[in-house]
Structure 1
Amino acid sequence: MRGRRISALLAASTLVAVGACGSGGGRAPDAFGTPQPGGVLRLGIIADPPALDPFTASNFAIAWGNLLSAIYDPLVWSDPNTGTVQPHIAESLVSDATAKVWTLTLRPGVEFSDGAPFDAAAVKANWELHADPKTGSSYASGAVGLRLTVADPLHLAIELPSPNANFDRAVASGLNYIASPRALGDLAALRVDPVGAGPFVLAAREPGKSLTLRRNPRYWQPGRPLLDEIDARVQAPGTTVSTAIDAGDVDLGEITDPAVADAAKRMGLGTLGLNLNGGLMVVFNTRRPPFDDPAARQAVVDSLSAGEINERFHEGAGTPANGIFDSASSLANLQLRPRENDADQARQAFERLTAAGTRPLEFSFMTTGSTPGTLEPETLYMQQQVQRFAGVKMHAESVDVVTLTRRLITGDFDMALSALWMNDPEPSLFDFLRPGSPANITGYSDPQVTEAMTAARLSTRTDQRSEAYTKVQVQLNKDLPFWVYQEAVNTVVFGRKVTGIQVMGDGVVLFDRIGFRG
């Protein structure tokens, strides 16, 4: 059930090199073949989505990103192979020399599934709803402060509140799905009856069990999609996507647990592994005692070992993190190693904090799991490691994901498990660290980090961005508002008949091109 636990952590974090491989059971399926028209793809999903609108639905691949991709189709998308933002429904999204004024150009002739034109006015209306606090958009940060002007039906002028050379990444990560303007008047209805311009439309739903998506007859690409239908099936308790594919019940799904992904390879299933920035992490509430004191945060981190957690609870299949960036990323600085696993340093710090054990240091540790109220072995290990020092008491609690999300947002915690999955640090890391941002769940604020993050978004050059992010990581290593202990990875798992797979962002599938081999 580790995969469900990671999925829950990812759902809570919405506040926030690809290759085929496999072994066993013969040669692994080829993700990059030429599919034939026709067929029904059975898609595994972790749960029945509570919403399918572009504003509140989680667009992570492990959550409901694949359903959103199929129903809405992206304006632009982030290519994990190249790190570039690619056009789709939009022909282009480009900035002027100041990086403060951008122009979105749309393809002509695109319609929503209800027949409404996909034009600049529709994009403007959607983005304005993202920015409206009453909408409750999970992606509001990318839209707040935008001045939008419809130049003509195919061109939208966008003036940012401040220069951002990476605004296209903000669009690709949170503003890329556009709903029909005819459906925007009733957002409650849109959440259960989505209307987009994607290759598929929602045709039927069996609550808690499945959703049926059928080919959109108004789809803007002639001859696409190749599939006739998508049958999205909710994962049964006690199963994984890989076991469902191996049993012939599902054709494709997403896995975030590296041990489960390794098992899928051994089954001979097709896998597309995607290394991401961020990862599994412990977050501290820096707004209140005891973790308003950096010494307390450092002492907890010195008590723990990322390598031991990986070996004990992830079968050694994961990669212990070296900070917030994927170790293979061009933005990472591998010379910067965050502190951890130093029992002597932890003992000395806790002795000072507890006056040699005479003044107890107590705090809560909030997490979630497959069964709320029951502590996972990984949580019990962390509790044991911290409490081995005199005077230290960590009260661990397991809550459901809704409670975890609410308490992270409101700051009602001392220490908690969380996760951050990022194809690129823009805009997620900026929002995660920006003072006053709803996504800044730790309450962390440092002027040097804010300055470096701002500098990073003013350039598209890798060397300049890397230099700025190195400054960010140096300060994070000192302050430790959070501790990333396992690198983020997402794996698309698929059966032998599936091919033509292209993923975007954190592993969401582009459904205009996927299909079955002949």
Structure 2
Amino acid sequence: MTDRFFSVRTHSPKTVRAAALALAMLCGSALSSTLAVAEEQPVKGGEITIINGSDIKSWDPAITNSTFPGGPMDMLDAIYGFIVYVDVKGVVQGGMAESLTSPDAKVWTLKLRPNVKFTDGAAYDAEAVKFNWDRVADPATLSPAQAFVSGWNKSIKIVDPLTIEITLATPDRNFGSTLANLSPFIASPAALKAAEKKTDIKPVGAGAFVLDNWNQGVSMTLKRNPGYWDQPRPYLDTLKFVVIPETNSRISTVVQGGATMMAGYMYQFGSNATAEGVTTHEVPLSGLYRAYFNQAKGVFADHRAREAFYEALQRPRLMKAYTQIDGYVMPTNYFTADSPYYDATYKLPEYNPEHAQELFDALAKDGKPFEIKIVTYSNSDLKRMGSYLQQSLSAYENVKVDLQLVDQAMLPPTCKVQGNFDLCIDGGVLVANGAEPIITNLLGSKGNDNWGKYNSPDMDKALAAANATMDPEAVKKAYADVQKLVAQDLPLYIYGSEARNLLIRNNTGGIVPSNGGILQKQFLFVCKDACTTK
């Protein structure tokens, strides 16, 4: 059997960064021309080790987050497989299921594959899928997808053992991509019922691999699932995950041959990107660098403060402080010029220090001094960014900036849960290869990623309008309204965009990204020789 795979190709940091910044941001995007697609004959057998920055807390398929390479969903996918996934063009594809389709965006039909079984021998059928989704919809499960799934799980109709019909309360053309990102994993109902608590759940799926051993917080080893539905895949005998939180340690481990790959950014790799036996592979999905304005309390509840923040800073210099690299092109709105939704009419404020000072003075005069607490991670990159922000803003009169650095695990509790910030900077880009579900999670009044509590009925209306139609022109018009409101309300501080890259051993084949960049692990294989594109 011959498969078409993304080949691994070596790029200079400058070339890759330029290509990344030119890709469509957070929208359905075409493959970059710098990424070759080659005919490769997969090799069966061998072992690949993927480095992740953190481990999962349990094998509960309902506890999902972070659909990016190197995140916890990487591990869940290896065991359970995505029921559907979003390809790099933003199109929903069948994964463990054959297809998910709708004629009107309201009634959706999920077709399951015949003869698929969980590794305990039970059928991967409509009843198993419904059991999993009903469990996600139960608030007691504490699933991040509870609000999404509870909106439609009671309308599930089992047509036959391989067919499920879902009727939504209102049309949603992005239902498939939202499902792929928020609730894509199906486990054996028997295994879920047998566990008294989440940490007792045994990972019994129908995906490409089965768990061999797990040293929580350190590493895990998975073996090929011999009963996987898509033979002869998976090609690997063994898939390993190693948890290494610190970026430089991850990089040196790959360069020294202690692991196969890690996800990161070209600015982090430096000269390691051209080390012997190593290459880089761009995941062709750009995302936003963003920070959250706290609009529930504090000075950023006043629009003038958000405008002053934009105008007081030079975003290219901020990105250089963060990455130590020049050449970043700044987004002018939520979508870039390569997006089919981009509207050049609406632009974020540019650097204007004189007007920024006027706004700072006006706020002080009105008894709203610009005194802010910036909260971000304690890693070296974000320390540099935080210091740059503190130094640049403190050059203005009537401005006071406090910088608080926290461990990565403490950022969501501090910002999202407690709201204990004025500006919160979440490191890395927020990636999606379609507008949804990311955009509504960020900008919707009830969005799960709306840490700043931005609340606009007009924005909710525009986002709902984009979701409720299958007409491309109507979608584009709705997203023009979204961009108008982004430029008008300034709900986020958008300071850059970037694509993730893999630092990878050059004998690695079968690189097939999905969703936010998670690799489809059933396609991975070890080449007999270096399979770098010539």
Query: How does the TM-score come out when normalised to structure 2?
Result: 0.85
**What secondary structure does 1:117 align onto?**
coil
The structural deviation recorded for 1:265 is: 3.8
Alignment of 1:311-326 (within 5 A): 311-314=320-323, 315-316=325-326, 318-326=328-336
Q: Tell me which residue corresponds to 2:138.
A: 132
Does residue 63 of structure 2 align to residue 53 of structure 1? Answer: no
Does residue 120 of structure 2 align to residue 118 of structure 1? Answer: no
Q: Tell me which residue corresponds to 1:333.
A: 343
Q: Tell me which residue corresponds to 1:482.
A: 492
Does residue 295 of structure 2 align to residue 286 of structure 1? Answer: yes
C-alpha separation in 1, matches of 2:55 and 2:479: 37
Letter in structure 2 aligned against 1:184: L
C-alpha separation in 2, matches of 1:62 and 1:463: 36
Q: Tell me which residue corresponds to 2:108.
A: 102
Letter in structure 1 aligned against 2:52: I
The structural deviation recorded for 1:39 is: 0.3
- Aligned residues of 1:141 and 1:431 also touching (Cα < 8 A): no
C-alpha separation in 1, matches of 2:346 and 2:292: 20
Letter in structure 2 aligned against 1:383: Q
The structural deviation recorded for 1:85 is: 0.9
Q: Tell me which residue corresponds to 2:9.
A: 21
Aligned with residue 232 of structure 1, among 241, 244, 254: 241
The structural deviation recorded for 1:331 is: 2.4
Does residue 403 of structure 2 align to residue 415 of structure 1? Answer: no
Letter in structure 2 aligned against 1:176: P
The structural deviation recorded for 1:238 is: 5.8
Residue deviations 1:453-493 (CA, integer Å, cap 9, x gap): 11211234544333321211111111112111111421123
Aligned with residue 172 of structure 2, among 146, 164, 169: 164
Does residue 439 of structure 2 align to residue 433 of structure 1? Answer: no
- Aligned residues of 2:260 and 2:505 also touching (Cα < 8 A): yes
C-alpha separation in 2, matches of 1:413 and 1:29: 41
- Aligned residues of 1:310 and 1:319 also touching (Cα < 8 A): no
Aligned with residue 153 of structure 1, among 156, 161, 167: 161
Residue deviations 1:399-426 (CA, integer Å, cap 9, x gap): 2233321233333322211253222121
Q: Tell me which residue corresponds to 1:201.
A: 210
C-alpha separation in 2, matches of 1:462 and 1:261: 39
Aligned with residue 358 of structure 2, among 348, 353, 356: 348
Residue deviations 1:86-126 (CA, integer Å, cap 9, x gap): 112211111133x2111111001111122221111111122
The structural deviation recorded for 1:326 is: 4.3
Alignment of 1:494-513 (within 5 A): 494-513=504-523
Q: Tell me which residue corresponds to 2:21.
A: none
Aligned with residue 493 of structure 1, among 497, 503, 508: 503
The structural deviation recorded for 1:452 is: 1.5
**What secondary structure does 1:239 align onto?**
helix
Does residue 380 of structure 2 align to residue 366 of structure 1? Answer: no
**What secondary structure does 1:61 align onto?**
coil
Aligned with residue 75 of structure 2, among 67, 80, 84: 67
Q: Which runs of 5+ in 2 are unaligned?
A: 1-5, 13-33, 529-534
Aligned with residue 295 of structure 1, among 296, 304, 307: 304
Letter in structure 2 aligned against 1:451: K
- Aligned residues of 2:112 and 2:163 also touching (Cα < 8 A): yes
The structural deviation recorded for 1:381 is: 0.8
The structural deviation recorded for 1:364 is: 1.4
**What secondary structure does 1:485 align onto?**
strand
Aligned with residue 400 of structure 1, among 379, 404, 407: 407
- Aligned residues of 1:365 and 1:396 also touching (Cα < 8 A): yes
Q: Tell me which residue corresponds to 2:28.
A: none
Residue deviations 1:274-305 (CA, integer Å, cap 9, x gap): 35454121211111231111111111121122
Alignment of 1:247-258 (within 5 A): 247-255=256-264, 257-258=265-266
Name the stretch that deviates more: 275-284 or 28-37. Answer: 28-37
Q: Tell me which residue corresponds to 1:40.
A: 47
**What secondary structure does 2:496 align onto?**
strand
Name the stretch that deviates more: 108-117 or 398-407. Answer: 398-407
Letter in structure 2 aligned against 1:93: L
- Aligned residues of 1:41 and 1:231 also touching (Cα < 8 A): yes
C-alpha separation in 2, matches of 1:238 and 1:159: 44
Q: Tell me which residue corresponds to 1:271.
A: 280
C-alpha separation in 2, matches of 1:478 and 1:121: 47
The structural deviation recorded for 1:507 is: 1.1
Letter in structure 1 aligned against 2:99: S
C-alpha separation in 1, matches of 2:280 and 2:472: 29
Name the stretch that deviates more: 136-145 or 301-310. Answer: 136-145
The structural deviation recorded for 1:136 is: 1.6
- Aligned residues of 2:377 and 2:408 also touching (Cα < 8 A): yes
Identity among equivalent pairs (%): 28
- Aligned residues of 1:19 and 1:273 also touching (Cα < 8 A): no
C-alpha separation in 2, matches of 1:29 and 1:221: 26
